[in-house]
Chains A and B, each alone.
Chain A
Amino acid sequence: MIRSALKISLPILFGFVPLGIAFGLLFQELGYPWYFASLMGIFVYAGAAQFMAIGLLSSGIGLLEIAISTFFLNSRHMFYGLAFLESFGNWNLRKLYLIFGLTDETYALMTTIKVPKHFTKERYYFFITLFAQMYWVLGCTIGALTANALSFNTNGMEFAATALFVVLLIEQWIKVKRLLPFIIAFIASGIALFFFIKHMLLVAIILSIGSIVLLRLIKTNSNE
């Protein structure tokens, strides 16, 4: 099971390591010891929020503001758990960790793949989540350690994250085979980009979910 989970989690490696390195490099400019970059990856474990933290830390902003901005930046994650209410199993430490590790990438991967029949879902998800976080911490650490000595040109590596989401989008298309969710999300993204570019992700997700709920309610009403 561990090997299978490792193999299926590898696309996240290519998304997380370059992004983690970028974080580590920037984080080092703040002048803290290198291992704080690793600690951020271990405890905070949120890509966008960690990048935001670099800016906030250098401005010495208050803790309440940090709490609020982190909350809003990550609030799209509130919708991610809905897909796993059942499959994360009973309340135990593993479930708490699975929830802790529910990032864009793990959500995207775990909602797309099919867990092989002979494996327990929550255990399989656990290893994917664990490996994903290891890639992230690895990236953050490499970035921080090599901040002054990096010779490999990593420019453009950030495209790996885009490519990962494109691949998962194609897989979703193969799996779902209904045009409606894609069209709704496309239009919602357009609206969100146009009017709320700063909170594009959250607005687009709320608009999309709002629209399908509305469509569903209209449909059930007209069937009665």
Chain B
Amino acid sequence: MNEINYLLAVMLVMTVSTYITRLTPFLLFGKGQESSLLNYISKSTPPMVMTILVIYMLKDVEYFTFEIVYTFIALLVTTGLHIYKRNALLSIVSGTVVYMIFVQT
């Protein structure tokens, strides 16, 4: 198999594999088949997933280094601005700019 064919095959396999993970719940649970338990799960999952994703993104921050200090400051900027203004773009861009300034200097 040459290089490009190998890459194309990998892409195909990854596309199918990823699609299956996203499609599964729709195949398992049809529309109008919602039970109160399933409903409860789908309602509680977003706050849990968001909590987990934030922790996941922060898991590689090294303790007892300057990194944890500026990560914390950037988080504070994003959180503070968002509570104050509730403008998602503003909160994300400001926190990221603060973080980039610290990383690059």
A: residues with CB less than 8 A from B are: 10-11, 14-15, 32, 36, 39-40, 43-46, 49-50, 53, 56-57, 60, 63, 66-68, 70-71, 74-83, 85-86, 88, 90, 95, 99-100, 102, 104, 107-108, 111-112, 153, 155-157, 159-173, 176, 178, 180-182, 184-186, 188-189, 193, 197, 200-201, 204-205, 208-209, 212-213, 216
Chain B residues with Cβ under 8 A from A166's Cβ?
54, 75, 78-79, 82, 91, 95
Chain A residues with Cβ under 8 A from B41's Cβ?
82, 209, 212-213
Chain A residues with Cβ under 8 A from B44's Cβ?
180-181, 209, 212
A86-B34, A182-B51 known; A155-B14 Cβ under 8 A = no
Classify the interface of chain A: helix, strand, loop or mixed: helix
The CB with the most chain B CB atoms within 10 A, among A39, A78, A173, is that of A78
B19 to chain A, nearest CB (A): 6
Interface pair A32/B3, CB less than 8 Å apart: yes
Interface pair B49/A205, CB less than 8 Å apart: yes
Chain B 4-40 interface 0/1 with A at a Cβ cutoff of 8 Å (1 = within): 1011011111111111111111100111011001101
Interface pair B42/A167, CB less than 8 Å apart: no
Instruction: Name the one of A50, A88, A107, A181 contacting B48, with C-beta atoms under 8 angstroms.
Output: A181
In the assembly, what is the distance between CA of A77 and CA of B78, in Å?
27
In the assembly, what is the distance between CA of A212 and CA of B33, in Å?
20
Interface pair B92/A85, CB less than 8 Å apart: no
Q: Which 5 A-B pairs have the closest CB atoms?
A: A81-B25, A156-B103, A185-B51, A156-B100, A185-B48
Interface pair A99/B26, CB less than 8 Å apart: yes
The CB with the most chain A CB atoms within 10 A, among B20, B30, B88, B93, is that of B88
Interface pair B34/A71, CB less than 8 Å apart: no
Interface pair A99/B22, CB less than 8 Å apart: yes
Classify the interface of chain B: helix, strand, loop or mixed: helix
B: residues with CB less than 8 A from A are: 3-4, 6-7, 9-26, 29-31, 33-34, 37-38, 40-42, 44-59, 71, 74-75, 78-79, 82-83, 88-89, 91-93, 95-96, 99-104
Interface pair A213/B37, CB less than 8 Å apart: yes
Interface pair B100/A63, CB less than 8 Å apart: no
Interface pair B49/A189, CB less than 8 Å apart: no
Chain B residues with Cβ under 8 A from A188's Cβ?
48, 52
A53 to chain B, nearest CB (A): 6
Interface pair B56/A200, CB less than 8 Å apart: yes
Interface pair A78/B24, CB less than 8 Å apart: yes
Interface pair B45/A79, CB less than 8 Å apart: yes
In the assembly, what is the distance between CA of A56 and CA of B9, in Å?
13
Interface pair B10/A66, CB less than 8 Å apart: yes
Chain A residues with Cβ under 8 A from B46's Cβ?
83, 107-108, 111-112, 172, 176
